[in-house]
Amino acid sequence: MNIAPFLQILPILIAFSSCKGNTIQVSEPPIPTAGYSTPDHYAGMTLAWQDEFNGDHLNTGDWNYETGGDGWGNHELEFYREQNTTVKDGYLIIHAKQENFGDKHFTSSRLTTQGKKAFQYGRVDIRALLPKGQGIWPALWAMGSSVATVGWPQCGEIDIMEMIGGGGKDSVVYGTAHWDSVGTHASYGGHKGLRDGHLLADQFHVFSIVWSPTAITWYMDDVPYKTIDIRPDEVSELRKPFFFLFNVAVGGDWPGSPDGTTVFPQRMVVDYIRVFQ
């Protein structure tokens, strides 16, 4: 029996035999090296903190693992676990997987610098390769350090980058600020997309904010796309210290649930975060 043809299609059969429910399980491609980069210094500014994700483990002197599956206020479908975070080859990798854990059918990771690293003003650069697919919701963001005492949105929130996957949405990022306005949640932000059909999962991009006592401006690959004036008293939350959060949610009120087009596992790969002041 000539088994050569069978051996040629075996990897394909393995990939599709691991389908679960309405989504598809596949092997991950290599991490691409192409993409946009930013410098490690700017005139008139000092590098206040950075994580280049060297070594083979997350620096828990700077980062916390937040775990659980309570929906996180957005009816998300994942259970956040430490095991879904990997540091290798100079990258932080967060995997979103379809697997049962607790009472959830998906797992991922959520990391914070709460209680360890917080900043007020400066430039923040985060170089990352994003996931894709319906129901996939990666975020690189910051929360007011007062959240434990005053709650949300009174603490303020700055979303440096959010993406909701699926269709053409895999090419668009959002930058948003949230705050409390006389007892009501208020927000302001904008979005920026790629051209020519490229996806944010194809190569690395740099997501940035430049934050001063007067304004926050959002950038992708050094191109500004939205600015908010934070001088008014009603947005005073945005002039206080913030800590960072990185996560990949699955499902939720904004992106909706995964469907038959969604492929697992998905990953967000972060090359670096740098804070200049």
Annotated catalytic residue within 66, 162, 234, 237: 162
Catalytic site residue 237? no
Closest Cα to residue 65, out of 266, 267, 243, 246? 246
**Token digits for 43?**
């005139």
Residue 259's alpha-carbon distances to 80, 106, 167, in angstroms, are 20, 13, 12
* Residues 220/192, Cβ–Cβ less than 8 Å: yes
Closest Cα to residue 113, out of 62, 61, 151? 62
Q: Partners of 144 in the beta sheet?
A: 242
Q: Which residues fall within 8 angstroms of residue 35, CB to CB, at 6 or more apart? A: 127, 129, 203, 204, 205
Look up tokens 């926050």; give the residue: 216
Catalytic site residue 162? yes
Annotated catalytic residue within 28, 66, 78, 157: 157
Residues with catalytic function: 157, 162
